[in-house]
Amino acid sequence: MAAIIPYLIASMVIGVFVAAFMGLGIVATARRVITVVRATMDAMRAPELTEDERETRVQRAGIRLLGLSTSLALRSVAALGAALMPVVIADTLGLAPHRIVMDRILSVEVLVSGTLIVFIGIYWSRRREWLKS
């Protein structure tokens, strides 16, 4: 039983990371970055705008991108921090040392299974959206 505890904690880490990743809106923020970049490129190519108008739009977009990039970085750090909480709690409670849990998290079987679970979850959520429309 004790041998399976690090794998259970590794599974919790993956689950918490995915939940934090989705809950913190990292994907939505990344999409906003792409939208701002596309709008900026469109403004730069727009023949109806004067050079001053283009410059103003590019400067505003630059400031917006700095804010979004900072937000994206902070959200990512928060998601990683949240994901490490099960490791810290398990180590504190004496359930499993953090080195063993981290070894299990970085093992091939956990990485492959975690990736498959995430992809299945993404497919399932997309499929639900497709069925609604």
- Chunked mean pLDDT (size 10), the chain, 133 residues: 84 89 91 94 90 91 95 96 95 92 89 86 76 70
pLDDT at site 1: 60
Is this prediction's pTM over 0.95?
A: no
Q: Count CA atoms within 13 Å of residue 31 on its CB side.
A: 4
pLDDT at site 37: 94
Q: Count CA atoms within 13 Å of residue 52 on its CB side.
A: 0
Domain ranges of the chain: 5-132
pLDDT at site 109: 87
How far apart CA 81 and CA 75 sit, in angstroms, is 10
